[in-house]
Chains A and B, each alone.
Chain A
Amino acid sequence: MNAKGTVHKFGDNVDTDVIIPARYLNTASHKELAAHCMEDIDKDFVNKVKEGDIIVAEKNFGCGSSREHAPIAIKASGISCVIASTFARIFYRNAINIGLPILECEEAAKEIKSGDVVSVDFNTGVITDETTGKTYQAEPFPEFIQNIIKKGGLIKSLS
C-alpha cells in the first residue's frame, strides 16, 4: 500500500477545532464535513486539496476534542496520509480506527515543505520527498495496530 501526493504543511498543535470547527458537528455526513476541513486554519484548503494529497505537520497534531469527525473530514477531503512529529493520542486512535493512514516521523515533519511531492510506502514506513530526493524512515506501527489495519478497521477486527 502506497500514497503519493502534494504536501500541505502545518505547524505545531493543529487542534481538532480548526480541523473541523464544532459549528459543523451537527452533521455526520462525510461529504459535508470534508467541505469545511481545515477551514479555521486555512480557508483555501478545500479548494487547493486534490485526491491523494498529503498533510505534513509538526508536533501534537489533532490535539483537543475527541471528535472522529476530524480524521473523517481529512480522509473525505481526499488526503491519503498524515505525517507528523507526534499525534495527540485520541486522534491517533481515531485515524487508525477509520482507516486514515498516519505516520510519526520527526525529521520528515521538520524538513518537508508545502508543495513538495512526497511518496509513502506503508509497508516499510519509508517516506520519500520526491522534490528534494531525500528519504525518511517513519516509526512502524506495533503489530497489534497493524492487525487492526489489515482486518479493515477496529470493528471488523473484533470478531
Chain B
Amino acid sequence: MGMTMSQKILAAHAGLDEVKAGQLIEAKLDMVLGNDVTSPVAINVFEENGASSVFDNTKIAMIMDHFTPNKDIKAATQVKQVRQFADKYDIKNYMDVGQMGIEHALLPEKGLVGPGCLCIGADSHTCTYGALGAFSTGVGSTDMTAGMISGKAWFKVPSAIKFNLIGKPQGYVSGKDVILHIIGKIGVDGALYKSMEFTGEGIKYLNIDDRLCIANMAIEAGAKNGIFPVDDITREYCNGRYQGTPVEYTADEDAVYDEEYTIDLSTLRPTVAFPHLPENTRTVDEIGEKEVKIDQCVIGSCTNGRISDLRAAAEIFKGRKIAKNVRCIIIPGTQKIWLDAMHEGLFDIFVEAGAVVSTPTCGPCLGGHMGILAAGERAISTTNRNFVGRMGHVDSEVYLASPAVAAASAVTGYITDPEKLG
C-alpha cells in the first residue's frame, strides 16, 4: 500500500521500509524545540528525573520568544532558568533577545529545519515547517524532555487528508485566506490526529511565506501536521540555508487518504474568522461595511510576521492614516525580517500611518504583553487563535485575518475589504 509524504518521513526516521496509519513507531529526531514558556517545564522534568546529558547539543533549539523582552519578574526568572540550562549543556541554538525571533519564523530562516527533517517542538505551531517538506509537530514539555534526552519520540502514524489546490489566487487573497477557508470548511477538529497534505498545481502560486502560514494553522483544524511537497520555490528558499541534508519525499501515487478536497484558489475571497473559533469564517463580502468596529490591529506572529506579510500591510498603509482610536501594532517575526523591513522603508510607511513597530515577540497573540485588550474591545489580528480571552480580557474579541485585510481595517476602523479602500 502506498504511503503519504508524512508517512514516508516517519518511516525513514524509524528505520522502516513501510509504515501504516495507526502504527506506533519510535523515530529519530533531527530537531527538538522549546520556548520560554514550555522549556522551564521541560527542564524541571529533566532535572526531577536525574538526567545528566542531552542527546545532541546542536539539535536542540530554545527560543525565548513568548514573554520577551521579559514582561515581568516571573517571566525573567523563567528565561534565566532556561539560559542557565543552555549554558550548562552548551545548547548551541539557545536564542534570547538580540538573536531570537518568533520561533517558527526563526527556525526556517536560520536553516535549522528543512526538507525531509523530523522535528518536534513544545509549541503547537511547530507544524509550520511542513511548508518546507518536513514532518514537524507540536508536543508538550515532557515529550520535549524525552526528545532532549534520547533524540527520539514515539508517534502514532497518522492517516491524511489531501487538499488538491488548483488555480491562481486573485487580488488580495493570500495564504492566510486559503487556510482560513479550509478551516471554515472542515472545522477545528476536521483533521484531528491526521496529516493535512497540500498539493496540486495551485501551490506554485503560493510563495514560501504563504506556505509557512498555511502549514502553521494546520493545528487549528486539529491536525498532527501540515505538509507541502518540495518544489523549486522550496529549493530556492532552502539552498544555502538549510544546515542539514535536504531529502525530498513525495506521496506514492497509490497513497490512501481519508478524504480529498479540491480547492480552487482562484475562487477564494479574503476571509475573516469571527470569535471565538478559527472555523467561524466569513468572506469579506459577507461582512457589512460598518458591521465590526475594531479597537486594535495586530500584524505579526508565527502565522503572519514575515517579510511578505509586512510588505502586504505596507502596500495598504502607504499614503493612508490609521483610524482615530485604533491602535496598530506591527511585529516583525525576526531580527532579519526587522532589518529587511527597515531597509525597504516599510517602517517609514507604518509610523507615518500611525502604527508602532515592536521588537520580535509572540506578545499579544497569546495575551502575553505588548497589546492586551480590555473588556469589550475588539482586535483584528493576523495571528492564529481567537479563543475566549486569547488576547486579553475574557470579554474581548479577536478576528483573524490576513495582513492586507487587517491593515485595511486599521485604516477605516471597521473590518474592511482592502479592495474597497478609497
Taking beta carbons and an 8 Å cutoff, which residues of A are in contact with B? Answer: 13, 15, 17-18, 21-23, 25-28, 40-41, 59-60, 63-69, 71-72, 86, 88-90, 93-94, 97-98, 142, 144, 153-156, 158
Residue from A68, A89, A142 within 8 A of B222 (CB atoms): A89
Interchain nearest-CB distance for A100 vs B (Å): 11
Smallest Cβ-Cβ distance to B155: which chain A residue: A93
Smallest Cβ-Cβ distance to B224: which chain A residue: A89
Interchain nearest-CB distance for B387 vs A (Å): 4
**CB atoms of B389 and A21 under 8 A apart:** yes
Q: Is B146 an interface residue (CB 8 A)?
A: yes
**CB atoms of A60 and B139 under 8 A apart:** no
Set of chain B residues within 8 Å of A90, measured between Cβ atoms? 124, 138-140, 219
Q: Is B367 an interface residue (CB 8 A)?
A: yes
19 contacts between A and B (CB under 8 A): A17-B367, A18-B387, A22-B390, A26-B71, A26-B72, A40-B389, A63-B188, A66-B124, A67-B37, A67-B140, A72-B41, A88-B222, A90-B219, A94-B143, A98-B142, A142-B24, A144-B154, A155-B49, A155-B145
Interchain nearest-CB distance for B6 vs A (Å): 14
Interchain nearest-CB distance for A19 vs B (Å): 10
Interchain nearest-CB distance for A156 vs B (Å): 7
Set of chain B residues within 8 Å of A13, measured between Cβ atoms? 188-189, 277
**CB atoms of A26 and B74 under 8 A apart:** yes
Docked CA distance A155–B193 (Å): 23
Q: Is B178 an interface residue (CB 8 A)?
A: no
**CB atoms of B367 and A21 under 8 A apart:** yes
Smallest Cβ-Cβ distance to B121: which chain A residue: A66
Interchain nearest-CB distance for B191 vs A (Å): 10
Docked CA distance A21–B37 (Å): 12
**CB atoms of A66 and B140 under 8 A apart:** yes
Interchain nearest-CB distance for B361 vs A (Å): 13
Smallest Cβ-Cβ distance to A25: which chain B residue: B37
**CB atoms of A26 and B140 under 8 A apart:** no
Set of chain A residues within 8 Å of B124, measured between Cβ atoms? 64-66, 90
Q: What are the 4 closest A-B residue pairs judged by CB atoms, nearest first? A: A94-B140, A26-B74, A97-B142, A68-B140
Considering residues B150, B367, B387, B394, which has the most beta carbons from chain A within 10 angstroms of its beta carbon?
Answer: B387
**CB atoms of B222 and A60 under 8 A apart:** yes
Q: Is B44 an interface residue (CB 8 A)?
A: yes
Interface band, chain B: 35 or more
Set of chain A residues within 8 Å of B367, measured between Cβ atoms? 17, 21-23
**CB atoms of A66 and B139 under 8 A apart:** yes
**CB atoms of A158 and B189 under 8 A apart:** no
Docked CA distance A94–B143 (Å): 8
**CB atoms of A158 and B141 under 8 A apart:** no
**CB atoms of B385 and A17 under 8 A apart:** yes
Q: Is B75 an interface residue (CB 8 A)?
A: yes
B122-170 residues at the A interface, CB under 8 angstroms: 122-124, 126, 138-143, 145-146, 149-150, 154, 156
Interchain nearest-CB distance for A66 vs B (Å): 4
Residue from B66, B78, B192, B390 within 8 A of A88 (CB atoms): B192
B174-213 residues at the A interface, CB under 8 angstroms: 188-189, 192-193
**CB atoms of B78 and A28 under 8 A apart:** yes
Docked CA distance A66–B385 (Å): 13
Smallest Cβ-Cβ distance to B79: which chain A residue: A26
**A17-B388, A64-B385 known; 12 other A-B pairs, CB under 8 Å?**
A21-B367, A27-B74, A40-B389, A66-B38, A66-B123, A67-B37, A68-B141, A69-B37, A69-B41, A90-B139, A142-B24, A155-B45
Set of chain A residues within 8 Å of B222, measured between Cβ atoms? 60, 63, 88-89
Set of chain B residues within 8 Å of A68, measured between Cβ atoms? 38, 41, 122, 140-142
Docked CA distance A23–B388 (Å): 13
Q: Is B338 an interface residue (CB 8 A)?
A: no
Q: Is B246 an interface residue (CB 8 A)?
A: no
Set of chain A residues within 8 Å of B44, measured between Cβ atoms? 28
Docked CA distance A94–B124 (Å): 12
B12-26 residues at the A interface, CB under 8 angstroms: 24
**CB atoms of B66 and A25 under 8 A apart:** yes
Set of chain B residues within 8 Å of A28, measured between Cβ atoms? 40-41, 44, 78
Docked CA distance A47–B149 (Å): 39
Set of chain B residues within 8 Å of A23, measured between Cβ atoms? 367-368
